[in-house]
Amino acid sequence: MVWTVNQQVGRGRSRIWGVALLCWLFIMLVTPKIPLSYRNHLYADMRNFVGVPNTLNVITNFPFLIVGVLGFVLCLGGGSFFNIRLPGELWGWLLFYGGTASVAFGSAYYHLRPDDNRVLLDTLPMMIAYSSLFSTFILERLGERIGLSCLFSLVVLAVLSTSYARTFNDLRLCMIFQLIPCIAIPIMTFLFPPKYTHSRYWLWAVGVFILAKMEALADMKIYCANNYIISGHSLEHLCSAIAPVLVTVMLMHRSCRFPRKSYCFLLLGSGSHDRLGEIKECP
């Protein structure tokens, strides 16, 4: 019976990955090449303050450093601060916060003098943070083994996608890589039961990320709308930094759901009545 259930789950996962691969191939075939150009490095706000080129685009990366370092240190603290039950989860969250902190350095370095060579240092840490976050979500929903395999695979894919963009002058892989978690996380949230409480924070983080990308697309329009105070790209940095803040709050407040339910089930199945108070507290 258990073997049959596991076999069905395994087939379901294989179908999911098969559909994802087919979608990726379809997108690559039907979409035109998106090359790098000098326009990619022209931002609405290029003002210099106190001798720092593109000042606001540089300093708005500082929140990534604060959140990344703080989250990394709290992860090392273990269960004292975050509810992380599995070793695989710990590796995923450490890599996520490490990538988030690296975004601050890579993006600031790129915005000091934007060009095709420096953009890799801006893109790669962000891609690693995305891949580790998505892998941790998969680990929570589908299990430690598949989550760890995704962590390794997606990090390698992030490096390959960035290298492909620079070598073949095509941004499609990087853009698809960033788009997939925004689609997959909301769908998987409703398809697979969460291991922890406060799972709504995943959806909020995705919403914040989508909002940040919209701000980046409206870089000049936002800059003009607020009388040239701050550009859409600078707001994208600040908005993107909210996503790791949200998942940090989630890690601090969430609790494991399944062990408590299993414990209640065992008590009810054994006919125990002397622990009725605990049973009533179970969800």
| CATH T-level topology, domain 56-253 | Rhopdopsin 7-helix transmembrane proteins (1.20.1070)
DSSP code per residue over 187-210: HHHHHS--SBS-THHHHHHHHHHH
pLDDT, residue 2, reads 40
Among the listed residues 186, 188, 159, 162, the one whose alpha carbon sits nearest the alpha carbon of residue 174: 162
Question: What is the rounded CA–CA span in Å between residue 274 and residue 283?
Answer: 19
Q: In terms of pLDDT, which residue wins out, 107 or 166?
A: 107
pLDDT range class, residue 11, cuts 50, 70, 90? low
Distance of alpha carbon 26 from its chain centroid, rounded? Answer: 24
| pTM exceeds 0.85, yes or no | no
- Give tens-digit pLDDT for 231-276: 999 999 999 999 999 999 999 998 887 544 433 443 444 444 444 3
Question: What is the rounded CA–CA span in Å between residue 103 and residue 225?
Answer: 28
Contacts of residues 276-281 at CB distance under 8 Å and 24 or more positions apart, as own/partner, are none
- Give tens-digit pLDDT for 118-136: 988 899 999 999 999 999 9
Residue extents of the structural domains in the chain: 56-253
pLDDT range class, residue 117, cuts 50, 70, 90? confident
In total, the chain counts a number of residues equal to 283
pLDDT at 201 over 60: yes
Q: 96 and 75 in contact (C-beta within 8 Å)? A: no
